[in-house]
Amino acid sequence: MVLFHWNKRYEIGHAQIDQQHRQLTALINRLDQAVTTNPDQTAGQLLLKELIAYSQYHFDTEEALMNTGVASGFDFSAHRLAHQQFRDHVRAVNQEPLTPERAQALLRYLVEWLIQHILKEDRQLVAQLQPLTANVDNDATRHAEDQLAAALRSSEYRFKTLADCAPAMLWLADPLGQRTDFNQAWSQFTGRHWSSLLGDQWQSLIHPDDRDTYLTTLRRAVTERQPFNIEFRLRDSQSVYRWVHEEVSPRTTTSGEYAGLSGSCLDVTKLKQQQLQQCTINSELQTDVDAKTLALESEKAEQALLIAQLKETQQQLVQSEKMAAIGHLAAGVAHEINNPIGYVRSNVTTLGGYVNKLAALLALYRQAGPALQAHPLYAEISAAEQRIEPDFIVADIADLLAETQEGLEKVKQIIQDLKDFSRVEANDWQSADLCQCLDTTLNVARNEIKYKADIVRDYSPLPPLTCLPNQLCQVFMNLIVNAAQAIEQQGTITLRTRASTDHVTVEIEDTGSGIPDAVISKIFDPFFTTKPVGQGTGLGLSISYGIIQKHRGAMTVTSEVGKGSCFSIRLPLEQPTI
C-alpha cells in the first residue's frame, strides 16, 4: 500500500523541482514500508538519514533559485524558514530510536508538510520567478544555451569515449544512489545494454548472499556522503558469478554541491582464486608445521618422561643398594651377636645347673648341722648364715637366671627377625604368612614405635600367599614408621588383615596428624615428601607403591586431617610364576 500518491496536481511547472518532489515522495513511501515491515528499526533509521540528505539537496536547489530573485526585490525569508523548520524537526526525530509510534507521527508530518510546501511555498516561488525568465532576450539566451549545450555534448563525448576505453567498469549515480550511467565495460561484462541497468535494475546481478550487505553499505554512503570500497559477486554474461572490487566516492557539481556517487569495479576473481590457493597452501603448511611441532613436543615429553623414569630408577637403585648394604651389615651384625649370645645362653644354662647343685649341697650341710655344733667354727658359720641369708640367695638366683634366659630368648628372636628382614638375597617368589611378616617388621621397628604408639593387632587368619616376603616387609616397615612419625604424642597404630576368595587385604591405620587433601594425590610420586628438608627422600612410598604393583596389587589411602590415615594394601592370592 502506497502512503503518498503523486499526481499532476502537485506539479508546479519547474521540471527539476518537480523531479525532486517525486524523489522525496518515493523516499517517504519507502520509509513507510520500512517501518511497517522491519520492526528492528535499522532500515527505517537508514532511510531517514537518506531522506535528510536528499531534502538538503532539494532545499539547496530551491534556495539557489531564490538567489536569482532576491535582486528583483522578492522576499523568500518565509520560504527559507520553512526549510529550516523542516530540517530541525526531522533531525530531532533522528536523534532518538525510531519506534513505531514515533515513525507514524513522523510520516504524518512529512506528508502534511510536503503537500502544504508544494502547493503553497514552492508554487509561489515558481510563480514569482517566471516573469524574470520571460523577460530575458530569447535570441541571446538561445545562443548561449546552444553554445553551452555544444560544449557540454563535446565534454560528455570525450568523457564517454575515455570511460568506454577504460578497462574498469565505471558508473555514475544520482544523490539517491540510483545509477544514471555506465561505461562500455559494464555491457561487456554483463552482456546487457547499459540502459537496462539504470536505476536499481543492475542490482539483480548481485549475488543473493551479498546483496543485503552491499545495499546497506550503499545507503549509508548516500546518507553520509562518504566513500567506501567493497568486494562482492556479480553475475557476468555467462551467468557466472565473479568477484569484483568496487571503489565508490561522492561527486559534486562545479559549484561544490553534492551530485551523487561515482564508482569503478575491477574483476578480481583470479586474484581471489590465487588468494584462496595461497590460503590453502598456507593452511596445509600450517597443518604440517603444527603436526611436526606436535610430534616434536610429544617426543620432548616422552624424553622428559624417560629422563624422569631414569632418574627415579637411578634413585631406586641407589636406595636398593643402600638397603642391600644395610641388609648385609645387619646380617653380619646379627651373625656376630648370635655367636656370643650362644655362649651366654649355654653358660647361663650351665650356671643354673651349678646353682642347683650348690643348693642341694647346702641342704645337706644343714641336715648335718646338729652333729657339728661341737665344732669350733659352728658359731661363726651360724652367724654367717643368718647374715648372708642363703635361702633368699638361692631363690633369687633362680629368678635371675629365669629372667636372663627370657631376655636371651628375646634377643635370639630379634636377631632372627633382623636376619629374616635383611635377607637381600631372597628374591624368589615363595609362600609366606603376612601376619608373621607384620610381626617381624614390628619387632625390628619396635624402637620407632614403643614411645609413640600402642599397637593393636586385628588379624584374621590368612591363607599362605605367594610373594617376595622381604619386599613386603620393606613396604610394611615404611608404612609403620611413617605412621609412628605422624603421631605427635601418644597414639594408636592398628594392623588389620582380611581375606576373601581371591585376594587378601592389609590395612595400617594410625591416629596421627593426617594428610591434607591438597597433597594426598601426590604422596606416591617419586621425590615427593611432606617431611622437612633433610628428613626424607620422598622415595619410601613411591618404592612401596612399585613393590605392590609388582605383586599385581593396589595400594590406596584415606585420610582426614587431625584424625589420621589408613593405608590399604590389596594383594591377589594368585601370582604369576616367575
Same domain membership, residue 565 and residue 438: yes
In this structure, is residue 283 part of a structural domain?
A: no
Distance CA 167, CA 161 (A): 12
More confident residue, 234 or 406: 234
Residue 520 belongs to a domain: yes
Q: Indicate if 204 and 230 belong to the same structural domain.
A: yes
Supply angle C-alpha 273, 279, 282, rounded to 5. Answer: 140
> Could you report the per-residue pLDDT of 449-501, keeping only the tens digit for each?
878 889 999 999 999 888 888 888 888 988 998 888 888 888 999 999 999 98
User: Taking 60 as the threshold, does the pLDDT of residue 53 lie above it?
Assistant: yes
Question: Could you say which of 386, 409, 425 is where a domain stops?
Answer: 425
pLDDT attached to residue 157: 53
For residues 429 and 244, give the distance between their C-alpha atoms in angstroms, rounded to a whole number. 83
Q: What is the pLDDT of residue 533?
A: 46
User: What pLDDT digit, counting tens, does each position of 284-330 carry?
Assistant: 999 999 999 999 999 898 888 888 777 766 666 655 555 555 555 66
Whether residue 221 sits in one domain with residue 335 = no
Q: Is the dihedral of CA 393, 395, 400, 405 positive or negative?
A: positive
Query: How far apart, in Å, do the first and last CA atoms of the chain sit?
Result: 96
Give 244's strand partners: 232, 267
pLDDT confidence of residue 555: 92
Residue 136 vs residue 116, higher pLDDT: 116
Q: Note whether 318 and 443 are same-domain residues.
A: no
How many structural domains does the chain have?
Answer: 4
Q: Are residues 407 and 460 in the same domain?
A: no
Domain range for residue 89? Answer: 8-133
33 plus 125 within the same structural domain = yes
CB atoms within 10 A of CB 32: 22
Tell whether 108 and 83 lie within a shared domain.
yes
Reported as a pLDDT band with limits 50, 70 and 90, residue 539 is low
For residue 105, what pLDDT is reported? 84
What CATH number corresponds to the domain at position 455?
3.30.565.10
Position 15 in a domain: yes
Same domain, 123 and 102: yes
Residue 28 lies in a domain: yes
d(CA 500, CA 515): 29
Is there a domain that residue 277 lies in?
no
Q: Are residues 461 and 417 in the same domain?
A: no
**What is the CATH number for 254?**
3.30.450.20
Domain boundary among 381, 408, 425: 425
Within 10 angstroms of residue 312's Cβ, the number of other Cβ atoms is 17
The mean of the pLDDT values for the chain is 80
> Which CATH number does the domain housing residue 107 bear?
1.20.120.50
Nearest of 467, 151, 113, 524 to residue 312 by alpha carbon: 524
CA 473/CA 569 separation, integer angstroms = 13
How large is the average pLDDT for residues 249-278? 88
518: Cβ–Cβ under 8 A, 6 or more apart, which residues? none
Residue 74 has pLDDT above 60, yes or no: yes
The average pLDDT across 264-274 equals 92
Side-chain half-sphere CA neighbours of 281 within 13 A: 6
Q: Could you tell me the pLDDT band of residue 418, with boundaries at 50, 70 and 90? A: low
Residue 153 belongs to some domain of the structure: no
User: Is 144 domain-assigned?
Assistant: no
Question: Is residue 183 in a domain?
Answer: yes
pLDDT on residue 435:
92
For the chain, the C-alpha Rg in angstroms (whole number) is: 57
The 10s digit of each residue's pLDDT in 6-24 is: 788 788 888 888 888 888 8
Statement to judge: residues 446 and 490 lie in one domain: yes
pLDDT tens digit sequence for 196-243: 888 889 999 999 999 999 999 999 999 999 999 999 999 999 999 999
Q: How confident is the model at residue 107 (pLDDT cuts 50, 70, 90)?
A: confident
Mean pLDDT over 555-575 rounds to 89
pLDDT tops 60 at residue 148 = no
**Contact predicate 323/424, CB 8 Å:** yes
Helix (H) or strand (E) holding 497: strand 491-499
pLDDT tier, 261 (very low <50, low <70, confident <90, very high otherwise): very high
Residues 478 and 549 grouped into a single domain: yes
How much is the pLDDT for 121? 80
pLDDT at res. 361: 80
Q: Identify whether residues 19 and 126 lie together within a single domain.
A: yes
